[in-house]
Amino acid sequence: MGKLFVAVANTDLADDHQTKLLKDLEKSIPLLWTNHLQELEKLILASKKFIPQQLDGGGIGEDLDLFIRSIINSD
């Protein structure tokens, strides 16, 4: 198993796109994330006990590509 993805979304940027991306990504890859920087330490500690569910889908590159295309096509 690879490394777990732990993230903090910056909600102040362009239409809160980081939150939207992380919500989409968590459907296809195991990750822990928050919108609040003060929760980062708690997430890192939780990641040491986190057992990700096996998800179907491509890799993160494919997920990012699909997400970016959905943003471009929604304009």
What's the domain range around 28?
5-74
- Is pLDDT of 15 > 80? yes
- Radius of gyration for the chain, computed over Cα atoms and rounded to the nearest angstrom: 13
Burial 7-46 (b: 16+ CB within 10 A, else e): bbbeeeeeeeebbebbeebeebbbbbbbeeeeeeeebeee
Total structural domains in the chain? 1
What is the tens place of the pLDDT at every residue in 18-60?
999 899 888 877 889 999 999 999 999 988 887 766 555 566 7
pLDDT category at 64 given cuts 50, 70, 90 is confident
